[in-house]
Each structure stands twice: as structure tokens, then as C-alpha cells.
Amino acid sequence: MNKIVKKRFFSENVVQFVVEAPEIARTRKAGNFVIIRLDEKGERVPLTISEADTEKGTITIVVQRIGVSTYKLAALNEGDYIHDVVGPLGHPTHIFKAGTVLACGGGVGVAPLLPIVQAFKEAGNRVVSILAARNKDLIILEDEIRKYSDEVIIMTDDGSYGKKGVVTVGMEDVIAREKVDFCVAIGPAIMMKFCSLTTQKHEIPTVVSLNTIMVDGTGMCGACRVKVDGKTRFVCVDGPEFDAHKVDFNEMLMRMGAYKEQEKEAFEAYKNALA
Amino acid sequence: MTDYKAERAEAWREELRKSIPAKDRTNLERVEMPMQDAVERRSNNLEVNLGLTEEMAVKESHRCLDCANPTCVTGCPVNVNIPKFIKKIEAKDFLGAAAVIKETSTLPAVCGRVCPQEKQCESKCFYTQKLKKPAVAIGYLERFAADYERESGKMSIPECEKPNGIKVAAIGSGPASLAWAADMARKGYDVTVFEALHEIGGVLKYGIPEFRLPKKIVDVEIENLAKMGVKFLTNTIIGRTITLETLRERGFKAFFIAAGAGLPRFMNIPGENANGIFSSNEYLTRVNLMHAADPEYDTPVIKGKNVMVVGGGNTAMDSVRTAKRLGAERAMIVYRRSEDEMPARLEEVHHAKEEGVEFLTLNNPVEYLANDKGQVQQAKIQKMELGEPDASGRRSPIPVEGSEYLVDTDVVVVAVGVSPNPIITSAIEGLDVDPKRRTIIVNPENNQSNISDIFAGGDIVRGGATVILAMGDGRKAAEGADEYLKSLK
């Protein structure tokens, strides 16, 4: 049982939780994730750790309400408990001195991007961060990202904040004006796919952090499998970060839709039960 | 060492032996296990085998000749004192029978259900070896004694030596660890079992279905270990949440790694990543551990109409029978060899057939075809024929060129084996691991690894075996760890 010590709404659908998990806070590194289960009947949901406080023994996770489990989670309050939290899982991000690093975060993908931005900055890189979302409300953690970035570019689909346009527009601008040595992109699968296509064109090495469906998160089930460089890999134990240019995004997008019907049905039932 | 001869010479045993002439004993028919009706059980998840009644158990115990040389014991990986417990049943001392089994086996109610007795103790029974008759139903009797004890409410908790205050840790909470933990607790150690998942029990919980091993039986065994002082910590991955080094700093003096063979194998054939294609681990975990078939629970599973399970082991049988229970109209086993080579227990194959499972033996999938949403629709199957025996001693399957045909399927479960979980082995520097199989290399005498305070057993050493072999490893490693810890003083 892990206690929620702090809850903060970034927007109507995006919530940040600070959760007690002293062992995980101590051992986690940038890029690691946890699996949570809300209650006895809950499913196992992977969530990337965005921050950790070793002294207070807490980790921070950010979640966007999209289905039953995320709605239930978002409904929890400070003082409530999450039944299970296990981690840190996955390989940590490989941090090195690259030169100029372009860090692209889409929507809630900015949360897992934060510790990576911080680590690349601390490794002596120039870090240019692009935060992209549909609208101003969905831009999160801007101040925190600014703290570790040399420059922050905001992109919104509707132009309600920063520049109008999708993330790749911002990327092209940066790439056109300066040499980018390395790129990290985290966000919805479709966003990562287009980030990858953009940097591939410019031959910039890029990693993406994949957020596939998982059950155990320890390599046991293979639900998260995805093709990378023509080979089937498990995101939970081989990833979650991979060379973006080698990821089969189309297969990944297809696999992420495996339970679309059930998810929709369950969500309808959940909303009806609340109404 | 048990003195079987002296025990056999005890008055009560002698008296029992003389009470019925051997010839009358051998003329008795082997008991039939009462079972749930094959049609009825397809629509529920309740246990298939119902267990023997007291009368049946006593009658079956009459068949046991109480041999001077009990070869059955040699067939048991943990050397249960088989003649003694069966004669206790014959004497109607059912609690006494359970106590005898528990001298050497930690999980009798589990082993009585899932052990491949026909390949172990029962294959070494005098009836099988010499009389060419069906063996004494040792497995059924073991289950009877264990169930009788549990249901009597008089379950005995093994006596433990005075606590010695030495902290030891088991990593993983499957049968190997539970056996190790029990033995170490009995020897007075302060035992903690670390489990990565949210439930204790390992494969007994996520893998073996309810209809073959009711979860409450496993829970009772775990509660008993807790009563013996064993501590359980779920959601803790050694090597990740806490490193082994940190455990050493926290005073743990010996470790038993039994993290299982948690990495499913796929066949790497075209289309295998289509939706609706699961590893058996995923399929069974969703249904068993996550209760996906129960609408009360949040985890989903795809219920297929035409379910194809690839493989011929017990996991394949568990998967295909699960599919039947989830409502599959057609549930098929696709296996590349013939039925004779199937590694699954005969009983499981038999039960599957009774439940209407089709067996497509000498068949092998070579490709899966999906619709535009990525959902599997058909499997391309190639026929096989048997050639010369391979390294495993089984005749190896050879593809028949041009024999491919299509089978409609909307759920495929790949049950072609597992590899050891890499998390723990990659987190311990210097640990000797088989470069090819990724299994931990141990001294077969005491299950000690090349790092003296680390012992290992079960599937992470064997690469995929049975509950009882895992338990045998746990017991041997407990002896080994005890000896090692005593040598430190």
C-alpha cells in the first residue's frame, strides 16, 4: 500500500501524484517506470516516474485520464492509498555528453521527459526542449523543464500558447538553425512516429520511450512486445527506450489498439455507474 | 536417512500387512478419481478432480503391498515416505498420514494435484514394474491426506528450532522458494520471501488454473508458512527495487534465487505480433492472476471463438482448457510432434479431450494472417512427419513441403516454452550464468552458485520443469544454505 502525499491538477484531465515509495525513490533512475494497481480488482498500469525525492521517500507520477483505471486513479486524493506500486522497471536512459540534445515531449509525455532533460543537462549538454500539446491547458511541467533546458519551445495545435503547429514544426525550426546531435522524443505513439521520421530525414540519432500495453512489466508476459530492427523485443525488459529509427511504429500503434472495444465498453459502464 | 526396513518392521505395519493377503490386495482395481462432468465443467472454473472419499482412499490403500524395498520413494524428487503414509491411511489415521508427507514435502495438497506421478513415484510402483497393472494411486492418496488435514481444521504447523536471528532471503515466491522458506524457518532462520508480483505463489497463482489447483489451497499453505514466522514482501523486485548488495548491507546472510523462467518464447514467424496472439504466460496471467474473465475485475482478455494453442506441454493444456471455459466454440492444440511425444501429463491430455479440445498433432503454424485492424484471423499451418530421434530422444518433426493449409482462428496462445527471467541474473555481477540458456549454474550437490552466499533452484536453474522438482531444489538448497551458514561461525 502506497500513500498519496500530494495531488495536483495540471488540467482537467492531467493529474500529478506524489506517492510514498521509499525503496523505489532510492533506486530509480531517469527513464524507469513503475507498475501500479489501484485496488484488489484493478489492472496493472505502467507509468513512468517523472521525479523522485530520496529524502522524503516519494516518487512523482503524472497521469492523463483516458480510461477506467486512469479515471479511478485521478479520483484518488491526498491521504488515499494505491494498492500496489512496483518498480523501478525498464532500463534507465543512457545519458552521455552528446552536444546539443533536442528533447521533445508530447502531452503527458513531458512528465517522463523531465528527468531525462535534467540528466542530459547535468551531463553537460545544451538542451533544447519542445513541449507540444493540443492546447495551452495540456502543456505541463513547463517551469520544471525550463529549469534544465537552455531553451524551451512551446507548440500547440490550436495556437492557444506558444507557436501554432505540431511538434515536428518546432523540430524542423531548430534543426534548420543549429546542429542537433541527439534527440529524445516521448509522447503518444503517433507523435513519436513523426518525431522519428523527422530526425531520420536529418540523420539525427533519436531515442523514444515506448508506452505499450503491459501486464506484469517484468518480462513475463510479452504483451508489450514490439518489433525493433525487425526483431521482437519486450518494452518492459529490453526497453522502454529504443532507437526510434528502428521501431516499427505501425505495428506498435496496431498493438496498442488491441483492447479498444473492451476499453470503450468498460469506460461506458464506468461512467454509467457514476451517473 | 529414513530406515525403511525398521519402520516396516514396526508392529502396526506388520499387523496391517497380515490383515489382508497380498493376493487379495493385488486383485483390487485401482480407484477412479471422481470428476466433475465433462460438459458441465466447461462452463465453470471449479476443480475438475473432486478427490477421493474416505472409503475410496482406504480401499486404495489396501492395494499398497508395503513392499520390503519401496521403489516408489526413489521416484519422488523429495523422497516422501510413501509406504508409511499409505499405511497410515489404511490404519485410518489420516492426520498421521498428512504428517508423514509433511516431513519431506512442503506443499502436499499442491503436489497431490499437479505432480506428474505417472512419471515419478507411480512409475516405480511394484504394480507398474512387476505386475504390469495400474500403479497404486499414490498421487490421489497424497491429495486425500492433505485435503483431509486442511478440511479437519487441525492442520499441524511444523515445529521450528529456536530462532537463531540469522536473516536469509528467498527471491521469488513459487514452489522452490516456498519449500526453501519452510525448511529454513524450521531450522530457526529469519526468512523473508521477496516477490515481484502483487501476490505470493508464483506459477501456482499466475500459471496453473483454478480448475486444476484452487487458489485457496495455495493460500492456506502460504498462511502456514507465515505462522512459522516466514515474512512475505510483495511488489519487490530484487535487483531493481532493492539490490542484493543492499540486502547484504541490511544483514541478510544467504539468498535463494528462484525467480522462475519468466520469459516466454515465441516462434518468430510472420504475423506473430498480431492482436489476439498471446504467450501462454500472458493469457494465463490475465485469467488466473488478474481474473480477466470476471467482469468485476478491470483487466481484459480477448475471448476467442476459434482458439488455437500452440504446444504440447502442461501449459498448453492449461491454456486450451481455459479457452474452453472462456467460451471458445473450437479450442485446438496444434503440436508439431505426435501425441506420443507430448510432454503434458496424460491426465491433462485426457481431460482436455473429454472437454472437447481438438488435437491437431503433427501440425505446426508457419504464419498468421490478420485483418486491417491487426486482429489475427487465420493461421497457416504446415503438416509435419516424424524423423529420427533428436537430442531429447523424441522423434524430431520434419515439415512436409507443400502441405500448408489455413485454419480460422481469432485467439492464438503460444505455449512453446519459457526462458529464465533476465532481471535478477543481469543485476548480480559475477554470477555464473549459462551463456546460452541464461540459467543460473549451481553445484548440483547443494544448489550453491559460484557466489558462496547465493543459492538457486527451480526453473531459473532448470529452464522449465515441474513444481516438485522446484521444491526438491528448494529443499536441497536449504540444506546447502544451512551448512554454508554454519561454516561461517
Of A41, A87, A221, the CB nearest to B282: A221
Contact residues, chain A, for B423 at CB < 8 Å: 218-219, 237
Q: Which of A174-178, A181-185, B291-295, B376-380 has the lowest mean pLDDT?
A: B291-295
Of A215, A251, A263, the CB nearest to B290: A215
Of A44, A87, A263, the CB nearest to B241: A87
Per-residue pLDDT, A128: 98
B/e letters for A203-226, b = 16+ CB within 10 Å, e = fewer, are ebebbbbbbbbbbbbbbbbbbbbb
Contact residues, chain B, for A83 at CB < 8 Å: 198
Contact residues, chain B, for A221 at CB < 8 Å: 264, 278-279, 281-282, 285
With a cut of 70, list the residues of chain B below it in pLDDT: none
Rounded alpha-carbon distances, angstroms, from residue B341 to B311, B345, B359, B389: 11, 11, 13, 11
Q: Which residues does A contribute to its contact with B (CB < 8 Å)?
A: 23-24, 27, 37, 41-44, 68-69, 83-89, 215-216, 218-223, 225-227, 232, 234, 237, 251, 254-255, 257-259, 262-263, 266
Contact residues, chain A, for B425 at CB < 8 Å: none
Per-residue pLDDT, A36: 96
Contact residues, chain A, for B282 at CB < 8 Å: 215, 220-223
Which of B173, B194, B198, B460 is the best substitution to test chain A (most A C-beta atoms within 10 A)?
B198
Q: Do B300 and A266 touch (CB under 8 A)?
A: yes
Of A23, A42, A237, the CB nearest to B241: A23
The strands making up A100-106's β-sheet, listed across from edge to edge, are A163-164, A151-156, A126-133, A100-106, A182-186, A206-209, A241-243
Give pLDDT tens digits for B415-429.
Answer: 999 888 888 888 999
Q: Do A37 and B197 touch (CB under 8 A)?
A: no
Phi, psi for residue B36 in degrees, rounded to 5:
-65, 145
Q: Do B273 and A43 touch (CB under 8 A)?
A: no
Q: Do A218 and B196 touch (CB under 8 A)?
A: yes
Give pLDDT tens digits for B375-414.
Answer: 999 999 999 999 888 887 888 899 999 999 999 999 999 9
Of B234, B285, B297, the CB nearest to A215: B285
Q: Which residues does B contribute to its contact with A (CB < 8 Å)?
A: 196-198, 206, 234-237, 240-243, 262-264, 266, 268, 272-273, 275-276, 278-279, 281-282, 285-286, 290-291, 296-300, 302, 373-374, 421-423
Contact residues, chain B, for A255 at CB < 8 Å: 273, 275, 374
What does the domain layout of chain A look like in residue ranges?
A: 2-89, 100-256
Distance from CA of B340 to the nearest CA of A (A): 29
Which chain B residue's Cα is nearest to A21? B241
Contact residues, chain A, for B276 at CB < 8 Å: 258
pTM of the entire predicted model: 0.93
Architecture of the CATH domain A100-256 = 3-Layer(aba) Sandwich (3.40)
Q: Do B282 and A215 touch (CB under 8 A)?
A: yes
The superfamily in CATH containing domain A2-89 is Translation factors (2.40.30.10)
Distance in angstroms (rounded) separating the CA atoms of residues A99 and A128: 11
Count of A–B CB contacts within 8 Å? 120
Q: Do A232 and B273 touch (CB under 8 A)?
A: yes
Tell me what the mean pLDDT of segment A110-125 comes to: 96
Q: Do B241 and A259 touch (CB under 8 A)?
A: no
Rounded alpha-carbon distances, angstroms, from residue B479 to A237, B77, B229, B248, B252: 33, 15, 19, 20, 17
Q: Do B263 and A88 touch (CB under 8 A)?
A: no
Cβ distance B273 to A255 under 8 Å? yes
Contact residues, chain B, for A43 at CB < 8 Å: 290, 297-300
Q: Do A237 and B423 touch (CB under 8 A)?
A: yes
Which chain A residue's Cα is nearest to B236? A86
Per-residue pLDDT, B352: 96
Same fold, A2-89 and A100-256: no
**Domains along chain B with CATH numbers:** 4-152 (1.10.1060.10), 167-262+419-487 (3.50.50.60), 266-416 (3.50.50.60)
Which of A212, A214, A220 is the best substitution to test chain B (most B C-beta atoms within 10 A)?
A220
Give pLDDT tens digits for A67-89.
Answer: 899 999 999 999 999 999 999 99
Which of B268, B285, B291, B299 is the best substitution to test chain A (most A C-beta atoms within 10 A)?
B299
B/e letters for B100-130, b = 16+ CB within 10 Å, e = fewer, are bbbebbbbbbbbbbbbbbbebbbebbbbbee
Contact residues, chain B, for A258 at CB < 8 Å: 275-276, 302, 374
Q: How confident is the model at residue A227 (pLDDT cuts 50, 70, 90)?
A: very high
Of B198, B273, B291, the CB nearest to A84: B198
Contact residues, chain B, for A86 at CB < 8 Å: 196-198, 235-237, 241
Contact residues, chain B, for A37 at CB < 8 Å: 198
Tell me what the mean pLDDT of segment A27-40 comes to: 95
Q: Do B299 and A254 touch (CB under 8 A)?
A: no
Distance from CA of B351 to the nearest CA of A (A): 26
Cell numbers representing residue A91 in the block: 532500463
Give pLDDT tens digits for B463-476.
Answer: 888 888 999 999 99
Per-residue pLDDT, B377: 97
Q: Do A87 and B286 touch (CB under 8 A)?
A: no
Q: How confident is the model at residue A241 (pLDDT cuts 50, 70, 90)?
A: very high
As a three-state string, the secondary structure of chain B is CCCHHHHHHCHHHHHHHHHCCHHHHHHCCCCCCCECCHHHHCCCCCCCECCCCHHHHHHHHHHCCCCCCCHHHHCCCCCCCHHHHHHHHHCCCHHHHHHHHHCCCCCHHHHHHHCCHHHCHHHHCHHHHHHCCCCCCHHHHHHHHHHHHHHHCCCCCCCCCCCCCCEEEEECCCHHHHHHHHHHHHCCCEEEEECCCCCCCCHHHHCCCCCCCCHHHHHHHHHHHHHCCCEEECCCCECCCECHHHHHHCCEEEEEECCCCCEECCCCCCCCCCECEEEHHHHHHHHHHCCCCCCCCCCCCCCCCEEEEECCCHHHHHHHHHHHHCCCCEEEEEECCCHHHCCCCHHHHHHHHHCCCEEEECEEEEEEEECCCCEEEEEEEEEEEEEEECCCCCEEEEECCCCCEEEECCEEEECCCEECCHHHHHHCCCCCECCCCCCECCECCCCECCCCCEEECCHHHHCCCCHHHHHHHHHHHHHHHHHHHHHHC
What percent of chain B has a predicted confidence (pLDDT) above 70? Answer: 100
End-to-end CA distance of chain B: 26
Q: Do A218 and B291 touch (CB under 8 A)?
A: no
Which chain A residue's Cα is nearest to B291? A41
Element containing residue A226 per DSSP (H, E): strand A225-228
Per-residue pLDDT, A213: 93
